[in-house]
Amino acid sequence: MKKYYQYADDVINGKVIAGKTIKLACKRFLNDLQRDDLVFNESVVDDAIQFIGTLKHFTGRHSGKAFILEP
């Protein structure tokens, strides 16, 4: 099972702790998969996830650089 399906399922089933809006988003995602008027293209999503994974933070707390406050 793809990670995005598993995550949504885990949120709905309480295996992943999440707030109300995340729970609603996951529920909508899973419901939208059942709709005939929408198309979910896994290969496009997988390509987007792969591309986003190559992006790096150059500033801020996620950059991997130590943050030192100057007096």
Three-state SS for 9-24 is HHHHCCCCCCCHHHHH
The residue type at 65: K
Percent of the chain with pLDDT over 70: 89
Distance CA 29, CA 4 (A): 10
SS3 60: coil
Mean pLDDT of 22-27: 98
Closest to 29 in 3D by CA, of 1, 21, 50:
21
Distance CA 48, CA 32 (A): 19
pLDDT in tens, 35-55: 999 999 999 999 999 999 898
Q: Is the pLDDT of residue 61 over 80?
A: no
Q: Is the pLDDT of residue 69 over 90?
A: no
